[in-house]
Amino acid sequence: MVRERTPFLGRDEQWARLNSTVHASDGAGALLVVRGPNGSGKSALLDVAARNWIRDDVRVLSVSAAVPAPRMFDALLETVRGRVDDHHDPELLETVAAAARLRPPRTDIGDFTPLPLVHELTRALTRLTRGKRTVLVIEDVDHGDRESAFALSALAQGFRATGGVVLATLRSSSRGSHEQLVDLADAVLDLPPLSDEDVAALLTRWTGGQAAVDPSTIEALRTTLGPLFGNPATMRSVVRALRREDRLTVIDEHLCLRSPREPIALPEDHELLRLVHECGPEGGRIAWSVAVLGELDVNDLPMLAEVADVELHACGRLLDRLVRDEVLHEDHGRLRLQVPALGTALGREGTRSWRAVHGALVRHMLDRRERGGVVDHSALAHHLVEAGPDFGGEHALEILLHEANSTVETDPEGAAERYRAAVHRMRASDSRLPGSLEAMTRLQLSRGHFRELADDLGTVLPALLEALHHEGDSTKTGPYGHDDELLLTELAVCWFLVQLHEGHTVGIHDSTRLFDLVSTRDGSSEQMRGLFSALFRGRVREAVSTLDTLVETFPAERETARPVIAFEEVVLLLQALEGEHEQFLRALWRWQRRHPSGREAPDIERLRDAGSMLDHATALELILGHRNGGGRRGSAHAYQRVLRAYHAGEWDEALSVARSLEADRSHPRGSLALHLTRVMAAEICAARGHFRRAENWLARVPRRFACGHLLAWVHCGLRHRRGHTAEAVAEGWREYLHHRDRGSTAGLERLLERLIDYSVRLGDQEGAERLLEQLEAFETRARTASAREAALLARGMVEADPAPLREGIESAKRRGDNHRVARGCAAMGRLLDEPRSWLHEGYDLVKQFGSSYGRGVFSELMRSRGIALTRSRGPREPLSNTENRIIELVSDGYTNRQIAVAVQASEKTVESHLTKLFTRTGCRSRVELATARLEGRLMPA
Domain boundaries of the chain, sorted by first residue: 12-190, 196-257, 271-352, 426-624, 634-705, 707-776, 800-865, 881-934
Which of 128-142, 206-220, 306-320, 534-548 is predicted with the least confidence, judged by mean pLDDT? 534-548
Percent helix, strand and coil across the chain, each to the nearest 5: 65, 5, 30
Cα–Cα distance, 825 to 522 (Å, whole number): 58
What pLDDT is attached to residue 374? 81
DSSP string, 422-491: HHHHS-TT-TTHHHHHHHHHHHHHHHT-HHHHHHHHHHHHHHHHHHHHHH--SS--TT--HHHHHHHHHH
Q: Which CATH number applies to 271-352: 1.10.10.10, 1.10.150.120, 3.40.50.970, 3.40.190.10?
A: 1.10.10.10
Query: Residue 901 contacts by C-beta under 8 Å, 6 or more apart in sequence?
Result: 4
What pLDDT is attached to residue 797? 94
**Burial per residue of 645-683, b for 16 or more beta-carbon CB atoms within 10 angstroms, e otherwise:** bbbbbbbbbbbbbbbbbbbbeebeeebbbbbbbbbbbbb
Q: Quick one: which of 387, 392, 462, 394 has its CA closest to 417? A: 387
Cα–Cα distance, 164 to 125 (Å, whole number): 8
What pLDDT is attached to residue 1? 32
Query: Residue 625 contacts by C-beta under 8 Å, 6 or more apart in sequence?
Result: 599, 602
CATH code for 634-705?
1.25.40
Q: Sheet harboring 248-251: ordered strands across?
A: 212-213, 254-257, 248-251
Q: Are the beta carbons of 783 and 853 closer than 8 angstroms?
A: no
Which tops the pLDDT comparison, 442 or 267?
267
**pLDDT, tens digit (0-9, with 9 covering 90-100), for 602-651:** 888 888 898 889 888 888 888 877 654 445 677 888 999 999 999 988 99
Residue ranges of E strands in 210-299: 212-213, 248-251, 254-257, 296-297
Q: Do domains 12-190 and 881-934 have the same CATH topology?
A: no
H or E segment to which residue 329 belongs = strand 328-331
Task: Indicate the Cα dihedral angle 590, 591, 597, 602, nearest 10°.
Answer: -130
Q: Binning pLDDT at 50, 70 and 90, where does residue 279 land?
A: very high
For residue 442, how many other CB atoms are within 10 A of its CB?
A: 20
Cα–Cα distance, 327 to 343 (Å, whole number): 10
- DSSP single-letter state for residue 554: S
**pLDDT, tens digit (0-9, with 9 covering 90-100), for 395-416:** 889 999 999 999 888 888 889 8
CA atoms within 13 A on the CB side of 481: 5
Q: Are the beta carbons of 531 and 546 closer than 8 angstroms?
A: yes
Which of 33-42, 888-897, 901-910 is predicted with the least confidence, judged by mean pLDDT? 901-910
Tell me the one-letter amino acid at 636: A
Q: Quick one: which of 607, 618, 530, 552 has its CA closest to 575? A: 607
| Burial group, residue 712, by CB count within 10 angstroms (0-12, 13-18, 19+) | buried
**pLDDT, tens digit (0-9, with 9 covering 90-100), for 529-546:** 677 667 666 666 677 777
Q: Are the beta carbons of 181 and 203 closer than 8 angstroms?
A: no
Helices 725-739 and 748-762: crossing angle, nearest 10°?
150
**Burial per residue of 187-223, b for 16 or more beta-carbon CB atoms within 10 angstroms, e otherwise:** eebebebbebbbbbbbbbeebeeebbbbbbbbbbbee
**pLDDT, tens digit (0-9, with 9 covering 90-100), for 837-886:** 999 999 999 988 888 888 888 988 998 888 877 654 434 566 776 787 78
Judged against a pLDDT cut of 80, whether residue 666 lies above it is answered with: no
Q: Are the beta carbons of 909 and 899 closer than 8 angstroms?
A: no
> Above pLDDT 90, what percent of the chain?
28
The CATH class of the 12-190 domain is alpha beta
Average pLDDT over residues 570-594: 77
Angle, alpha carbons 200-205-207 (nearest 5°): 95
What pLDDT is attached to residue 92? 76
Q: Which CATH number applies to 881-934: 1.10.10.10, 3.60.15.10, 1.10.260.40, 2.40.50.140?
A: 1.10.10.10
Query: Residue 467 contacts by C-beta under 8 Å, 6 or more apart in sequence?
Result: 427, 428, 429, 478, 479
What pLDDT is attached to residue 333? 86
Q: Sheet harboring 165-170: ordered strands across?
A: 59-64, 134-139, 165-170, 30-35, 187-190
What pLDDT is attached to residue 875? 41
> Above pLDDT 70, what percent of the chain?
82
φ/ψ of residue 109, rounded to 5? -115, 5
Average pLDDT over residues 346-365: 84
What separation in angstroms does the CA of 885 have from each of 591, 633, 852, 922? 66, 46, 21, 19
Cα–Cα distance, 625 to 831 (Å, whole number): 44
Give the SS3 label for residue 167: strand
Q: Are the beta carbons of 720 and 689 closer than 8 angstroms?
A: no
Query: Residue 53 contacts by C-beta under 8 Å, 6 or more apart in sequence?
Result: 19, 22, 60, 135
Helices 271-278 and 280-293: crossing angle, nearest 10°?
120
Bridge partners (DSSP) listed for residue 251: 254
φ/ψ of residue 764, rounded to 5? -90, 80
What pLDDT is attached to residue 296? 86
Cα–Cα distance, 839 to 833 (Å, whole number): 12
Cα–Cα distance, 915 to 195 (Å, whole number): 13
φ/ψ of residue 252, rounded to 5? 55, 40
Give the SS3 label for residue 129: helix
**pLDDT, tens digit (0-9, with 9 covering 90-100), for 732-751:** 999 999 988 777 888 899 99
Cα–Cα distance, 474 to 477 (Å, whole number): 8
**Burial per residue of 572-584, b for 16 or more beta-carbon CB atoms within 10 angstroms, e otherwise:** bbbbbbbbbbebb
Q: Would residue 192 be called left, alpha or beta, if left means φ above 0 and alpha means ψ between -120 and 50 degrees?
A: beta
Cα–Cα distance, 608 to 612 (Å, whole number): 6
Which of 14-23, 65-74, 493-502 is predicted with the least confidence, judged by mean pLDDT? 493-502
Cα–Cα distance, 582 to 601 (Å, whole number): 16
Pairing of strands 30-35, 187-190: parallel
Q: Binning pLDDT at 50, 70 and 90, where does residue 128 land?
A: confident
Q: Return mean pLDDT, the chain.
A: 81
Judged against a pLDDT cut of 70, whether residue 514 lies above it is answered with: no
Q: Binning pLDDT at 50, 70 and 90, where does residue 484 land?
A: low
Judged against a pLDDT cut of 70, whether residue 69 lies above it is answered with: yes
**pLDDT, tens digit (0-9, with 9 covering 90-100), for 785-834:** 999 999 999 999 999 999 999 999 999 999 999 999 999 999 999 999 88
Give the SS3 label for residue 211: coil
Query: Residue 429 contacts by C-beta under 8 Å, 6 or more apart in sequence?
Result: 467, 471, 478, 479
For residue 641, how many other CB atoms are within 10 A of its CB?
A: 22
Give the SS3 label for residue 399: helix
Compute CA 290 distance to the chain's CA centroid, rounded to the nearest angstrom: 26
Q: Are the beta carbons of 940 and 884 closer than 8 angstroms?
A: yes
What pLDDT is attached to residue 202? 82
**pLDDT, tens digit (0-9, with 9 covering 90-100), for 104-117:** 766 555 566 778 88
